[in-house]
Amino acid sequence: MKSPAHSMKTSRVPLRLLFCLLGASVWSTDATIAAETMTVGESTVAVPENNLVGSDKLLLTGGINNVEGSAGGGLTPWAVIGGYGTRDQIGANVFYTRVNVQDYHLDDYGVTVGLFNRVELSYARQRFDTEDVGAALGLGRGFTLGQDILGIKLRLAGDVVLDQQDWTPQFSVGIQYKKNDQGDVLHAVGATDDAGTDFYLNATKLYLGQSLLLNATLRFTKANQMGLLGFGGDRHDGYQPQFEGSVAYLLNRHIAIGAEYRSKPDNLRIATEDDWYDFFVAWAPNKHVTLTLAYAYLGNIVIADNQRGLYASVQVGF
């Protein structure tokens, strides 16, 4: 491995502190607004309590967690705000995802908080194990690249479930800040940075009459293999637009099937990067658990081509 000719750009974001603040803000708002009364004519009507932390959205309408922690499909974020909280509530969930392809595996876990169906905050930690490829690259068998991802998403307009009267989708805009922990290795493979930020826009539409959901995402990114191989590279170093799309069909109240596609940049000379796609089944027996199984096609990753395999994810909600 050549030693870096110049120092790798690193960012100093106190990730652990941010995560603690995130957790504290969720639990400190576990408050119940007391029953109010209102007067109608001569009668006094007591209004039931309104819980601030709740899960009163309809089943499956918070999406699942994608590999970067944002709510949506498994590979792509959607315009939906994560969690089951309504416009008056805060909802949250945690997830664990495992992807096994022939020559690598990915462990991925995190937390997503939805605030008043308007703002979504997420944190995910990815660990990408290079197994024997690590040995072939001289890094050691099982060499692991790790990445922390902080996400924030804002619903701009529309309501995917309630807007059934016309064609308008729900629109959201989001940011994912990503920090990889293997700066030296990333530079050695040709990446410019070990940290980077993705910006994305989604439009998601649920055609309830057809039991069909469609999503389109436009993402501006420099991330190589979503950041696992750093950001920017010796082939191309600027932001490029990428397109992502999903389709989901509701089989019944508890099960959705679908497919996703995610286009990828190709910034590194050392290896081609392919577009990703998958076919999935998501099962939500209740509002507290969603299980997702998918078959993912990840294409070429570094020196191993045609990577494909099983994706499994569990989401537990409060």
Partner 1 sequence: MTFHNIPSRRPRFLAAAAIALGTLATPLFADENPAPADATLLPVFKQFGEKPGLIALMEDFMVLLVDDPRTRPFFADADQLHVKQALVDQFCVILGGPCKYEGKGMKEAHEKLVINEAQFNALVEDLQKAMDKHEIPFRAQNKLLEKLAPMQREIINRR
Note the residues at the interface with partner 1 (CB under 8 A): 35, 38, 40-48, 50-51, 54, 56-58, 86-89, 161-165, 208-211, 250-253
Q: Which is nearer to partner 1, 210 or 306 (CB)?
A: 210
Using the minimum distance from each CB to partner 1, give the nearer residue, 5 or 38: 38
Min dist. Cβ of residue 164 to partner 1 (A): 4
Closest CA to 246 of 64, 121, 118, 112: 64
Tokens of 8: 């790798």
C-beta of residue 92 within 8 angstroms of C-beta of residue 71: no
Taking the C-alpha atoms of residue 84 and residue 290, their distance in angstroms, rounded to an integer, is 12
Q: Tokens for 244, please give them.
A: 């992502």
CB of 34 to partner 1, least distance (A): 10
Which residue's CB is nearer to partner 1, number 20 or number 251?
251
Indicate the residue among 10 and 210 with the shorter CB distance to partner 1. 210
Is 11 or 210 the residue whose CB approaches partner 1 more closely?
A: 210
Query: At its nearest, how many Å lie between partner 1 and the CB of residue 86?
Result: 4
> Which residue number, 17 or 38, has a Cβ lying nearer to partner 1?
38
How far is 185 from 177, CA to CA, in rounded Å?
A: 20
DSSP 18-45: HHHHHHHHHHHT--EEPPEEEEETTEEE
d(CA 275, CA 264): 5
58 close to 254: Cβ distance less than 8 angstroms: no
Nearer to partner 1, 4 or 285 (CB): 285
Cβ 32 to partner 1, closest distance in Å? 13
The tokens describing 67, both together, are: 């590999």
CB of 95 to partner 1, least distance (A): 23
What minimum distance in Å lies between the beta carbon of 282 and partner 1?
Answer: 15
Shortest CA distance to 149 belongs to which of 223, 259, 233?
223
**Angle in degrees, CA 245, 164, 261, rounded to 5:** 5
Give the whole-angstrom CA distance, residue 132 versus residue 153. Answer: 37
Shortest distance, position 159 Cβ to partner 1, whole Å: 9
